A and B are shown apart, each in its own frame.
Chain A
Amino acid sequence: MLPTTLDEAVSALSAVPAAVPVAGGTDLMADVNSGQLRPGALVGLGRISEIRGWEYQDGHAVLGAGLTHARMGRPDFAALIPALAAAARAAGPPQIRNAGTLGGNVVSAAPTGDALPVLAALEATLSIAGPEGARRELPVSHLLANVDMLRPSEVVGYVRVPLLHAPQTFLKATSRTGPSRALASVAVVLDPMRRGVRCAVGAVAPMPLRPLEAERWIASLIDWDGERGLAPEALSAFGEYVAMACIPDPAPEEGADPASGPVPALPPAALHLRRTVATLARRGLGRALA
């Protein structure tokens, strides 16, 4: 089934409850091909032209869920939302970037989805199309945290993100030089109007993490009206703060006597992950403020 509008797609999904929507198919088809998933039918979203572009709406960009990573990586898009463009360019080899979509990245909700920390930092909201022309808005973080879920026959239509007109960065640590999944990723966006720094850490937990206290603390140090730069020590401290918040020390056991021994240390791999997050956050903020 190849609907050409969002409502047609919703109707098709309502008519065949066993059907599964497929956009780029870079996650879904791998499961189908390996035999892990046997959908009764597929509803292709690739012909819905209304979700393959974007438009502007009172200081926000409304991005079609069918935007491919390749499209988002282009310079015109990068001028609007630099961090999302950087995430899109890092989202795999060209074959994946040409097919994989923004909406697919959100719905698959893989911990390593590169767009997700950026959307979390931007506090993006989703516009979801439902039966009989219904539309509802949902913060992307609610979907990723399973606070709210897609209901039967609903399709993600648009992703609404603020246009902040300020530097943004997305940095990703990988195990090889060629395209690969993130070991950890950090998105940093500046919001000069609200004098805020927003940061999200991807791949270290099932969903992107927001170190809110660290964000507030560092935003209070920045001279928003002058040179925004910060001392290296402040950047390092921000990195450490973010990393400690996202990868905390294990809590001492309930009722354990603090004097009975040291708190169990994190395993070396987790310590390395924390160090990686700290480095990425420090570099990400440093580049955003440079």
Chain B
Amino acid sequence: MTDMAEGPGAGPGGAATVPPEPGPGGNPLPPSSRNEPEPHGLGASVMPTDTYAKAQGTFPYAADLWAEGLLWAAVHRAPHPHARIVSIDTEQAAAMPGVRAVVTYADVPGDSAHGRKVADQPAFARDIVRYFGEPIAAVAADHPDTARLAAAAIAVEYEVLEPVTDPEVSFESEPLHPDGNLIRHIPLRYGDPDLVGEVVVEGLYRIGRQDPAPIGAEAALAVPRPDGGVEIYTASTDPHTDRDLAAACFGLPPEQVKIVVTGVPGAMGDREDAALQIPLGLLAMRTGCPVKIAVTREESFLGHPHRHPTLLRYRHHADAEGTLLKVEAQILLDGGAYADTSSDALAAAVSFAAGPYVVPHAVIDGWVVRTNNPPSGHVRGEGAMQVCAAYEGQMDKLAERLGLDPVEVRMRNVLATGDLLPTGQTVTCPAPVAELLTAVREAPLPELPKDAPEHEWLLPGGPEGAGEPSAVRRGVGYALGMVHMLGAEGTDEVSTATVKVSGSVATVMCAAVEAGQGFDTLARQIVQETLGIDEVHVASVDTDQPPSGAGSRGRHTWVSGGAVERAAKMVRTQLLQPLAAKFGMSTELLSIADGKITSYDGVLSTTVVEALEGKELWATAQCRPHPTEPLDGSGQGDAFVGLSFAAVRAVVDVDIELGSVRVVEVALAQDVGRVLNPRQLRARLEAGVTQGIGTALTEHLRVSKGVVRHADLTVYALPTALDTPDIRIVKLIEERDVVAPFGAKAASSVPVVTTPSAIASAVRAATGRPANRLPIRPQAAVGTSQPGV
């Protein structure tokens, strides 16, 4: 139970730095071959076990749950973003045939409020409605339609209040919540606040409200237990926190509430939504029957947290050569009505406000405030994504002002290992930013389609679209981005895992939820690598297991992967020690591969099954990374453990008359520490880039005076296959992070953070417009110089 600070120990390759190994054609990922034996172990493209089930539609998701005699739940949601509740009349709904229970705030036996950081969110609105779609009551009935009709029949009398929807107004407006409107303010002061550079560029940037839009909407099943408790089956990615929040609301000890994790249909942090599980558990305990809910897409849009809409004012000071001297920034995050994880997002935004650049002086103020807009919370790269759009916009401006190449300006300022962040923290992990930027700059540009027949061009607007070749301009843009990988500011980032070996089969038990990020596959690979056993099962997750924490920021690769490795090594020692003692040698001299144990000199050779002698071996271990500390009153402190960096080059075609944009190619170079599963890594990077394209061009949940408009996937435009360009992974730098287990860095979120900025930069290059607002609307991509016909 020690921490992992000494490095991965005797793992293959140890803590040594491994140079990148570019593969053929500049593509570092080896091609998969069908004729090779099933890949196994770290570094191989092991297939996830659920791939075929998911592709064939047999994988059980939360929406597929069933229990004999179950009831269906529906939630009555507020039709106003801000209102006083005068009365709630549930009589008519409760009297409807088939309705078994109706619950409101009055039926919450325990704590009336919950929340991940601060308990400020009621399970049901009591006196005040603070956002459009806030739950007011829930109904259980014997048919989903009955439940929905009964929920609609609940009569609530409101006194409608003026909603606060502009975060800038929130500072001065009447408090929306007893805790006040300011959720957090971080005033970061670093170096000389009064310094003025020879060159000063200013900019104002706005980031929209991205929805996580998981492919499967939220669903859950609650089953009452004979001891008065409840079991909730749901696709949570942070089951222990959800259990604790729910138990507090139920007025039960945590042991009487169990959350069982079912198949997760996509997650970006949105699956940590206790708001659904609390009403469901109350209904199950009230009726004594299993109760199921499967929300509609519209409810899903209303209920789960979104990316923080952000307003950023920046001023960069540099010398005449383009060396950055000071960054001034004011960052305002719209937190929605409740605090949720907003303070984490703000910490990331303020700490990374200058980006992966060396900045000797900084004055950065960040605020996150309450509004009556839809809730904000965990979405991949929260905080870091918004500031990336701003600091990269500033770098483009600085380059333009100085008449320099945008890549050159960036290159003059890049961060490296040993440099300081504006929080005063030294970057101790590998930070090969310059190398990443060089890699994307040197990658060949995609060819113009001028030699192809015209009908084969895929112009902005798509096939059969209105695109006109003479009005299409091509732009190339660059961006650098960074994220942190584990929880920050003193969060106890611990994970516990158990490994069991019995016969030729190993089992991993760890409460890290497989949400598509590939943790189950990684756990199998770790055990295969350490114990030489190919058949590895990963047990399903429930809260009877020790906690592993949230699934955000890819932290499970680090903490839970580290715990699995530690446990596997303990099993390995138990397995080898008797043999080693028998032959009078140390266990280090024995190696395991393909189910065989061999001594260093090859004299001893036996199988794992024989060495077990029919015993079962178990071991449980924890991984707890470096402790962190909260940012202090001037935004200083060692708040982060690991950092990950990426460079992106985007190439876009813009129809400068219509303002339609098509991303032609995204070239990505990323600092990954170590490639543990090449195929899975590629899939995660491509997914991250694609999400970034949505952030850059289309994804924004429209809200008018706090009321969500068009909560559907027709108007909320996610990128389709036609919107997704060629994604070239030009370089993966494998410089192992010595403090990370296996030296690997989480990979999914940094492309999400960096891609939108690169696309904005490319649109700037193509149109001459500022593109300082994401997503970039067509009217902002209409070129400044109108061409002829």
A-side interface residues toward B, CB under 8 Å?
Answer: 34-35, 86, 89-90, 93, 171-181, 183, 232, 235-236, 268-269, 271-272, 275-276, 279-280, 282-283, 286
Contact = CB atoms under 8 A, between A and B. Distances in A.
B592 to A, nearest CB: 49
Given A232-B788, A235-B789, A181 B714 contact: yes
9 contacts: A90-B465, A173-B658, A175-B698, A176-B697, A177-B460, A177-B465, A177-B722, A232-B788, A275-B782
B298 interface: yes
A68 B661 CA distance: 30
Contacts of B698: 175-176
B704 interface: no
B242 interface: no
Of the candidates B462, B466, B698, the one having the most CB atoms from chain A within 10 angstroms of its own CB is B466
Contact of A283 (B296, B298, B466, B723): B466
Interface in B697-748: 697-698, 714-715, 717, 719-723
A279 B658 contact: yes
Given A34-B297, A173-B461, A174-B462, 15 more contacts: A35-B148, A89-B463, A171-B466, A172-B466, A175-B778, A176-B722, A177-B458, A177-B723, A178-B723, A180-B717, A181-B714, A272-B782, A276-B658, A279-B466, A282-B789
Given A180-B717, A235-B789, A173 B779 contact: no
Interface string B295-336: 011100000000000000000000000000000000000000
Contact of A178 (B658, B719, B789): B719
Given A181-B714, A268-B779, A272-B779, A174 B461 contact: yes
A180 B662 CA distance: 14
Contacts of A276: 658-659, 778
Interface string B763-789: 000000000000000110010000011
A97 B458 CA distance: 20
A173 B466 contact: yes
Contact of B789 (A34, A35, A236): A236
Nearest to A269: B779
A90 B657 contact: no
Of the candidates A176, A180, A275, the one having the most CB atoms from chain B within 10 angstroms of its own CB is A176
Contacts of B778: 173, 175, 183, 272, 276
Contacts of B376: none
Contacts of B148: 35
Contacts of B697: 176
B296 A35 contact: yes
B464 interface: yes
B782 A177 contact: no
B468 interface: yes
A273 to B, nearest CB: 9
A283 B462 CA distance: 16
B660 interface: yes
A282 B463 CA distance: 19
Interface in B117-158: 145, 148
A179 B462 contact: yes
A175 B462 CA distance: 10
Nearest to B297: A34
Given A280-B466, A282-B789, A283-B468, A178 B721 contact: yes
Contacts of B298: 34
Q: Interface size bucket, B side?
A: 35 or more
B717 A175 contact: yes
Contacts of B296: 34-35
Nearest to A284: B466
A176 B721 CA distance: 11
A176 B465 contact: no
Contacts of B297: 34
Nearest to A38: B145
Contacts of B720: 93, 176-179
Contacts of A181: 714-715
Nearest to B721: A178
Contacts of B458: 177
Interface in B417-471: 458, 460-466, 468, 471
Contacts of A271: 779
Contacts of A283: 466, 468
B717 A177 contact: no
Nearest to A286: B789
A34 B427 CA distance: 51
A218 to B, nearest CB: 14
A248 B56 CA distance: 53
Contacts of B468: 283
Contacts of A178: 462, 719-723
A174 B719 CA distance: 13
Contact of A172 (B465, B722, B723): B465
A236 to B, nearest CB: 6
B188 to A, nearest CB: 35
B698 to A, nearest CB: 5
A174 B468 CA distance: 14
A176 B724 CA distance: 10
B719 A176 contact: yes
A268 B782 CA distance: 12
Nearest to B468: A283
A177 B662 contact: yes
Contacts of A272: 659, 778-779, 782
Contacts of B715: 181
Nearest to B693: A176
Contacts of A275: 657, 782
Nearest to B458: A177
B660 A174 contact: yes
Contacts of A174: 461-462, 465, 660
Contacts of B719: 176, 178
Contact of A176 (B658, B717, B782, B789): B717
A232 B788 CA distance: 8
Contacts of A286: 789
B489 to A, nearest CB: 38
A269 B779 CA distance: 7
Contacts of A177: 458, 460-462, 465, 660, 662, 720, 722-723
A86 B464 contact: yes
Contacts of A269: 779
A42 to B, nearest CB: 16
Contacts of A279: 466, 471, 657-658
Contacts of A172: 461, 464-466
Nearest to A268: B779
A275 B698 CA distance: 20
A181 B148 CA distance: 30
Contacts of B464: 86, 89-90, 172
Nearest to B148: A35
Contacts of A90: 464-465
B653 to A, nearest CB: 10
* Among all A-B residue pairs, the 8 with the closest Cβ atoms: A178-B720, A272-B779, A232-B789, A171-B466, A178-B722, A177-B462, A279-B657, A177-B722
Interface string B656-698: 0111101000000000000000000000000000000000011
Contacts of A93: 720
Contacts of B660: 173-175, 177
Contacts of A171: 465-466
Of the candidates A93, A183, A271, A275, the one having the most CB atoms from chain B within 10 angstroms of its own CB is A275
A86 B462 CA distance: 13
A230 to B, nearest CB: 10
Contacts of B789: 232, 235-236, 282, 286
A35 B291 CA distance: 20
A150 B781 CA distance: 43
A107 B321 CA distance: 65
Nearest to A174: B461
A232 B658 CA distance: 18
A124 B715 CA distance: 29
B147 to A, nearest CB: 11
A176 B662 CA distance: 8
A224 B257 CA distance: 80
